[in-house]
Each structure stands twice: as structure tokens, then as C-alpha cells.
Amino acid sequence: MNTGFIGTGSMGSMLIEAFLRSEALLPQEITAFNRTSAKAEQLAQRYPGLRIARSNKEVVLESEIVFLCIKPMEYKKVLDEIRDFTDPSQIVVSITSPVMLGQLEQLLNCQIAKVIPSITNFTLGGALLCMFGERVSAAGRDDLLTLLANIGQPIEIEEKLTRVSSDISSCGPAFLAYFLEHFIRASVEETGINEQQASALAAQMLVGTGKLLTEGGFTPETLRQRVSVPGGITAEGLRLMEKELKDMFNQLFRITHAKYDEDVAKVASLLPRPAE
Ligand SMILES: NC(=O)c1ccc[n+]([C@@H]2O[C@H](COP(=O)([O-])OP(=O)(O)OC[C@H]3O[C@@H](n4cnc5c(N)ncnc54)[C@H](OP(=O)(O)O)[C@@H]3O)[C@@H](O)[C@H]2O)c1
């Protein structure tokens, strides 16, 4: 299926590479444009056959599905460039949380979806949060879900839950990575264990924990209870975490949602209001 990418930065290139590695798409089926041409050209060199367009308009003219992999403040410019060239048979997919389906439907005449990827899709795992606009046909929905299923697990969510779902699914890898960085650094500082070995142990622990939660029938709570026997060493560590971290998670969601509200307001000042 001819698939276009507007923006080949961190997420655009991640999606392209994941679709190619999973063999969901052939390089010849991909057309991309990036504001700084060198980034897109590097992809074309790495994947012979991948087409670099000369403009965003050209991406739209050559694609059945178009992924908008740009930042919130870049939408107005890109939408102005492509709005006269979309077609009702096409699906335009935004990967940006503060841009609403309704805003895109007001400006473009095509089918609109929102898909929030996660860096975990790079290794063909993790979730892809999916939302569909009112004009998306049953066939369009199936095509998009089938494509996405090659690089992760598409999970349909309500648009009003975009931020919290993205915090867990897309920001979560960075939050866990931060935890691991400090876990590893402290293990080295406190005990002298070699950093490489501590990192390998931590990565394997994370993979195994993920499997227990997805395939092993555990919830986070039952897993914690299973490992932490009364009077044991894990329980001592958990007691400290309970004291130090408890409110931090609530604060984290408040902070991400405050930033999201700011971004939504900025986008709203640039794009039309969604129809009531
Ligand atoms: N990072 C994540 O894990 C994650 C997860 C889910 C969703 N997202 C969302 O994904 C979106 C993109 O994030 P990102 O991390 O990929 O940002 P990024 O690395 O800055 O990529 C954005 C790309 O868009 C290009 N661009 C800007 N204006 C353009 C235009 N007018 N025409 C064509 N290309 C243009 C930029 O080109 P230049 O090279 O000229 O800068 C850049 O390469 C954001 O809205 C973000 O919220 C990110």
C-alpha cells in the first residue's frame, strides 16, 4: 500500500524503519518528505527504492495513507500545504496528541485517524493508540489496523484519554529508562558491580517482567506480592520506595496533563475549532 510520511525525524523515521523491518511495506511503497532534506535522503540511501518527494503535496498525491510525523506547532503550515490535494479515499494519520481529530476533519476532506506510536514499536512491540474520525470507512479502519499490527499492538482508545494513555505507552519507556539509569548507577556506586553487567541484568529483568505481565498471568500487584515475601529483602526495598515515591506518580500525571493543556491551547489558537 502506498504510504507517505511527512516528517522523518525521530518518530517518522522510527515508523518507516519498523514498517520496513517487519516487511509490512516495501521501500518502493514509501514516499517521504522532511523539511531538512538530508534526514529523508539518509533513509533513501539506507533503503534503496524508498522515494523522497520534493514537497508535502507530492507525498499526499502519491499515497493512500499519509502519516503526519511533525510537532504540534508545525501542523498549520503543513495542513495549508496539503489541504487542496487530499482526497476522500485517503487516510491522513496524525501522530500528535494535542491535535484533535475534529480539527483535522475541519481542514481536510479525507478520512482522519490519530495514532500515537511508542519507541517500543521500533522493535515491533508495545502499543499503538488508535482513534478514528467520523469519516473513516470500515475498510479504511481495517487497512490501517492491519498495517499497524505489523509493528505493535493497536489499541483503540477514546480521544479524551489520549494524554494519560500516551503517558503510559509512549512516555513510559523514558520514565522506566530513567528509573533503570538510576537503579544501575546506584548499584555501581554502592557495590562496585561492573556497569555493563548491571545493565545487562537490568535489561533482562525488564524483558522478563514484561512477559510475566503480558503472558504470565500476573498483574503488577500480584507480581509484587509474589516476589516480596514477608520479612524478606525485597520487602525492605519496597518499604523505602513506598515512602519516597508514593506521591510522585500523581504529580507526574498532573505535570504531563498541564503541559498537554498548554499545547492544546496553542494548537487551538492556530487551527479551526472542531465542529460541535
Ligand atoms: N518521541 C516520541 O516517543 C513520540 C511518541 C508518540 C508521538 N510523538 C509525537 O510525534 C511527533 C513528532 O515527534 P518527533 O519526536 O519525531 O519530532 P522530530 O524528531 O522533531 O521530528 C519532526 C520532523 O518533522 C519535520 N518537519 C517540520 N516541519 C516540517 C514541514 N513543514 N514539512 C516536512 N517536515 C517537517 C522536522 O524536520 P527538520 O529536520 O527540519 O527539523 C523533523 O524531522 C510529535 O508531535 C510528538 O508529540 C512522539
129 pLDDT band, cuts 50/70/90, is very high
For range 79-102, the mean pLDDT: 97
Which grid coordinates are listed for 143?
Answer: 487497512
**Tell me: the pLDDT tens digits for 152-181?**
999 999 999 999 999 999 999 999 999 999
CA angle 100, 137, 132 (to 5 degrees): 25
Question: How many angstroms does the Cα of residue 9 sit away from the middle of ligand 1?
Answer: 5
Average pLDDT over the chain, rounded to whole? Answer: 96
Distance 187 CA to ligand 1 centre (A): 36
The three-state secondary structure class of 53 is: coil
CA of 82 to the centre of ligand 1 (A): 17
Mean pLDDT across the stretch 44-63?
98
C-alpha cell at 167: 503517558
CA-closest candidate to residue 156, choices 129, 116, 138: 129
Q: How far is CA 225 from CA 40, 139, 246, in A?
A: 49, 45, 17
Q: Which residues contact 86 (CB under 8 A, 6 or more apart)?
A: 60, 66, 92, 108, 109, 110
Q: How high is the pLDDT of residue 276?
A: 66
Q: Give me the pLDDT at residue 217, please.
A: 98
CA angle 10–13–14, rounded 5-degree value:
75
Residues 41, 32: Cα–Cα separation, whole Å: 9
**111: pLDDT strictly greater than 70:** yes
In the chain, where the domains are located: 3-158, 165-263
pLDDT-based confidence at 102, cuts 50/70/90?
A: very high
Q: How confident is residue 13, by pLDDT bands cut at 50, 70 and 90?
A: very high
Distance of alpha carbon 144 from alpha carbon 3, whole angstroms: 11
Is residue 211 pLDDT above 70, yes or no?
yes
Q: Which residues form the pocket of ligand 1, taking CB atoms under 6 Å from any ligand atom?
A: 6-12, 33-36, 39, 56, 69-72, 74, 77-78, 95-97, 116-117, 119, 170
Q: Is residue 39 very low, low, confident or very high in pLDDT (cuts 50, 70, 90)?
A: very high
Q: Tell me the CATH number for domain 3-158.
A: 3.40.50.720
Instruction: Please give the CATH superfamily to which domain 165-263 belongs.
Output: ProC C-terminal domain-like (1.10.3730.10)
Rounded distance between C-alpha atoms, residue 80 and residue 86, angstroms: 11
